[in-house]
Amino acid sequence: MNLLIKSATIIDPAGPFHKQNLDILIEKGIIKKISNSIKNINNFKEISLENLHISQGWFDSSVCFGEPGFEERETIENGLNTAAKSGFTAVAVNPNTNPIADNKSAIEFIKNKANGFATALYPIGSLTKNAKSEDLAELYDMQNSGAIAFGDYNKPISNANLLKIALLYAQNFDALVLSFPQDNSIAGTGLANENINSTKLGLKGIPTLAEELQVARDLFLLEYTGGKLHIPTISTKKSVKLIKNAKKKGLNVTCSVAAHHLVLSDDELKEFDTKSKVMPPLRTSKDIKALLKGLKDGVIDIITSDHNPIDVEHKKVEFNNAKFGTIGLESLFGALNKVVELETLINCLTTNPRNRFNIENSSIKEGEKANITLFNPDSEYEFKLNNILSTSKNSIFLNKKLNGKVYGVISNNKLVL
């Protein structure tokens, strides 16, 4: 693939050309030249787009595709094409398939299905067999087959001793353990954040305590065992404080936040719209403020879409019966671009998650593979059904104003616009 990118503003905080507006020549998928003005002497395909900005290719650390088992929600093929058009050159895919991805064969099936796309797929293996929080899965075998981390998606490890053993065992092969932050004995059958809104609406509440107890427990275990822990999709003010203190102690812990938890509060529930039913639940404006500060201060390392397609039969039902989850690949950038400072946002989508999940990290400079996301940070629009590329349409941002348009990606020697 040979390309000439014209007049692009480079957002690459760790690279040599940060905030410079330059031309970029790409030959056979490699960045050959970066300069003020490059003449197209070889008649390469030229990319010249309005207010074009580029960065390292974005990596989403928490994505669900249905395949195998729930292809009606999202196939791997459509999911990867959606990710590419949404600016992601790599995604980590959760193991909540049917059957659960808890063994070597399941990981290899998912990897093989993802060959040949612009967006690279990295499987996350289930930490426990069948995600039942009873016995550890075949972690070492799965890692050898391509799994980059281990966790039970949106299911807490209720047995503290099991997580202790997992953290100890995983150190033998330097594996990353994920632990979903919720204590189900406190959360029970809750549907929404326990607060004035859930009380007014008559919805069973999930208190912030359910998250914070689990985070505190997991950090105690990590302090005891050592190892590497990642806490996905935190949502409360106190969780930020707990992780901040753990990092000060020198514990090897990181955490992520889902895009919707940085923008939307539990006020969204007033319409009983099941698109707003997510896990963890939408919290309060005070929590949003604390999460944004946690990002700015570097306590929160990673931003994810937490993309979770749900078919219409399990979403367009009564609030009590609807499944938790929202799609988010297509809307992440536009939802956060004016809420989170651009450099912080790019870091939390590139360097930070790639380093934590041990994925190849490339800067925008001559001689590097072209792994690039193309976007316009100043494009305002209303997010409508026709902006959704996923098979499922359960977007929490539907009909909301977004700011920032993704043009596509250059990755794996392919251009997707």
Q: How do residues 121-135 score in pLDDT, each as one tens digit?
A: 999 999 999 999 999
Please tell me the predicted confidence (pLDDT) of residue 271: 86
Same domain, residue pair 383 and 290: no
Structure tokens at 250: 């020198």
CATH of the domain at 223: 3.20.20.140
The domain that holds 377 is classified in CATH as: 2.30.40.10
Q: Residue 14: pLDDT band by 50, 70, 90 thresholds? A: confident
Both tokens assigned to 67:
């395949």
Burial class (CB in 10 A: 0-12, 13-18, 19+), 209: middle
Tokens of 172: 């033998």
C-alpha–C-alpha distance, residues 96 and 85, integer Å = 23
Cis-peptide into 123, omega within 30 deg: no
Q: Are residues 222 and 244 in the same domain?
A: yes
Structural domain of residue 94, as residue ranges? 56-356
pLDDT at 6 over 90: yes
- The string of pLDDT tens digits covering residues 51-62 is 999 999 999 999
pLDDT averaged over every residue in the chain: 97
User: 330 and 287, same structural domain?
Assistant: yes
Tens-digit pLDDT profile for residues 270-297: 889 999 999 999 999 999 999 999 999 9
Place of tokens 């996905």: 232
Given a cut of 90, is residue 229 above it in pLDDT?
yes
Question: Where in the sequence numbering do the catalytic residues fall?
Answer: 306
Q: Is the pLDDT of residue 208 over 90?
A: yes
Within-domain flag for 395: no
Same domain, 158 and 46: no
Two tokens, residue 235: 């949502």
What whole-number distance in Å separates Cα of residue 372 and Cα of residue 165? 39
Q: Percentage of residues in the chain with pLDDT exceeding 70?
A: 100
Asked whether residue 277 falls in the same domain as residue 410, the answer is no
Residues 6+ apart with CB under 8 A from 414: 1, 117, 118
pLDDT in tens, 29-50: 999 999 999 999 999 999 999 9
Residue 99 lies in a domain: yes
Mean of pLDDT values over 300-305: 98
Binned at pLDDT 50, 70 and 90, residue 168 comes out as very high
Contact 242, 216 (CB under 8 A): yes
**Amino acid identity, residue 7?**
S
Mean of pLDDT values over 306-329: 96
Q: Are residues 11 and 64 in the same domain?
A: no
Specify the pTM. 0.96
Q: Of all residues in the chain, what percent carry a pLDDT higher than 90?
A: 98
Q: Please say if the pLDDT value at position 406 is more than 90.
A: yes
Confidence of residue 93 (pLDDT cuts 50, 70, 90): very high
What is the per-residue pLDDT across 351-390, written as a single tens digit (0 to 9) for each? 999 999 999 988 999 999 999 999 999 999 999 999 999 9
Please tell me the predicted confidence (pLDDT) of residue 284.
97
361 falls within a domain: no
- Helix 342-349 and helix 285-296, axial crossing angle in degrees, nearest 10: 80
pLDDT tier at 151 (50, 70, 90 boundaries)? very high
On whether both 246 and 203 belong to a single domain, the answer is yes
Instruction: Identify the pLDDT of residue 160.
Output: 97
